[in-house]
Amino acid sequence: MTNLAAVMTAPETIELQERPEPEAGPGQAVVAIRAVGVCGSDVSFYRYGRIGPYVVQGDLILGHEVSGEVLSVGSGLTNVVPGDRVAIEPSMPDWSCAQCRAGRYHLCPNLRFLATPPVDGALVQRMALDARMLFPMPDSMTFEEGAIVEPLSVGLWGCQRAGLRPGDDVLVTGAGPVGLLAAESARALGARTVTITDVVRERLEVASRHGFRVEVSGSADSAETDSAKTDSPARSAATYDVLLECSGAPGALADGLGRLGPAGRAAVIGISKQNADLPLHTLNWNEITISMVSRYQNTWPLGIALISSGRIDLTGVHTHSFPLAETAAALAIGASDPSAVKSIIYPQDVEALAR
Ligand SMILES: [Zn+2]
What is the DSSP annotation of 168-235?
-EEEEE--SHHHHHHHHHHHHTT-SEEEEEES-HHHHHHHHHTT-EEEETT-TTT---HHHHHH-TT-
**Per-residue confidence band for 84, with pLDDT thresholds at 50, 70 and 90:** very high
Distance separating alpha carbons of residues 287 and 25, to the nearest angstrom: 51
CA of 331 to the centre of ligand 1 (A): 31
CA of 160 to the centre of ligand 1 (A): 21
Q: Residues 61-71: pLDDT tens digits?
A: 999 999 999 99
Pairing of strands 169-173, 193-198: parallel
CA of 107 to the centre of ligand 1 (A): 7
CA of 113 to the centre of ligand 1 (A): 12
What pLDDT was estimated at residue 274?
83
CA of 99 to the centre of ligand 1 (A): 5
Closest CA to 35 of 137, 136, 146: 146
CA of 342 to the centre of ligand 1 (A): 31
What pLDDT was estimated at residue 338?
85
CA of 103 to the centre of ligand 1 (A): 9
Helix or strand or coil: residue 114?
A: coil
**Per-residue confidence band for 221, with pLDDT thresholds at 50, 70 and 90:** very low
CA of 133 to the centre of ligand 1 (A): 15
Helix (H) or strand (E) holding 146: helix 143-161
Q: Residues 163-195: pLDDT tens digits?
A: 999 999 999 999 999 999 999 999 999 999 999
**Per-residue confidence band for 236, with pLDDT thresholds at 50, 70 and 90:** very low
Helix (H) or strand (E) holding 112: strand 112-113
Closest CA to 259 of 244, 235, 239: 239
Q: Are 198 and 216 in contact (CB under 8 A)?
A: yes
